[in-house]
Amino acid sequence: ALRDMIELTTGELVLVEQNVANNPGRNVSLTYFSQDDGKAWIPSNVMDIGGKGDHAGSIEGTLTELRDGRLWILLRSYHGHFYECFSSDRGRTWTKPLPSAIKASGSPGILKRLESGRLVLLWNRFAENRPPRVGRREELSIAFSEDDGKTWSEPDVLLRLRGQRVSYPAVFERRPGELWVTVWQGATFIKLQENDFTPAISAGRSSEH
């Protein structure tokens, strides 16, 4: 399940993926680092949140490079939130996974740095009134951060299709401020403008999720 790969400001590549651990059987995450445009890859340490059984553990991560040079990864889990890890050596080693402040259903998000310098996150938020494994894949939200993920704009719902899935998002910035959003589960294609959402940030509307 390869969900994300980024090119660092140094020109190096970092790819996030997952593997299977045994005793008990669960998923774990790691990254691969390349200094030669993908000819050779160096694996990182394993990011393991434990668990047992089908889809247990951490899977389908997304990552970005922060302004201070660290890397930040958000890992899918069935615990009602993303887990997060940080790397200070460009993806060679990662900190122990800890719960992030971002509530999420058991489905992956996508995290990207935009030309404006903001971070954008698209994900299926956690449904408080449902069992954690069910989540809410019929609702896709978007939020922006001015401060490298410390705070986020109030999420806006991009898609809501009752009884259907709108999950596994991807975002591509075609030109500065013009975002193309697709979802694999839901076959939906959206073009949106960053400035249609971000004026609320400068007005002071921000929160943690």
DSSP 8-state secondary structure symbol assigned to residue 5: E
CB 140 within 8 A of CB 157: yes
Select the more confidently predicted residue: 186 or 25: 25
CB 161 within 8 A of CB 170: no
- Which amino acid is located at 49 in the chain? I
- Integer Cα distance of 59 and 75 in angstroms: 6
Sorted by sequence, the CB contacts under 8 Å of residue 164 that are 6+ apart come out as 138, 186
Would you state the pLDDT for residue 207? 43
Sheet hosting strand 81-87, strand order edge to edge? 59-65, 71-76, 81-87, 98-103
Query: Is pLDDT above 50 for 137?
Result: yes
Burial per residue of 42-65, b for 16 or more beta-carbon CB atoms within 10 angstroms, e otherwise? eebeebbbebeeeebbbbbbbbbb
Residue with tokens 């660290």: 70
CB 125 within 8 A of CB 142: no
- Integer Cα distance of 179 and 24 in angstroms: 41
DSSP 8-state secondary structure symbol assigned to residue 195: G
**Residue closest to 45 by CA, chosen among 16, 79, 5:** 16
Would you state the pLDDT for residue 160? 85
- Which amino acid is located at 145 in the chain? S
Instruction: Give 73-131 pLDDT, tens digit per residue.
Output: 999 999 989 999 999 999 999 999 999 999 998 899 999 999 999 999 999 997 666 55
Select the more confidently predicted residue: 137 or 153: 153
- Bridge partners (DSSP) listed for residue 22: none
* Continuous H helices in 28-174: none
Cβ-in-10-Å burial (0-12, 13-18, 19+) of 205 comes to exposed
Lowest mean pLDDT among 107-111, 117-121, 139-143, 163-167: 163-167
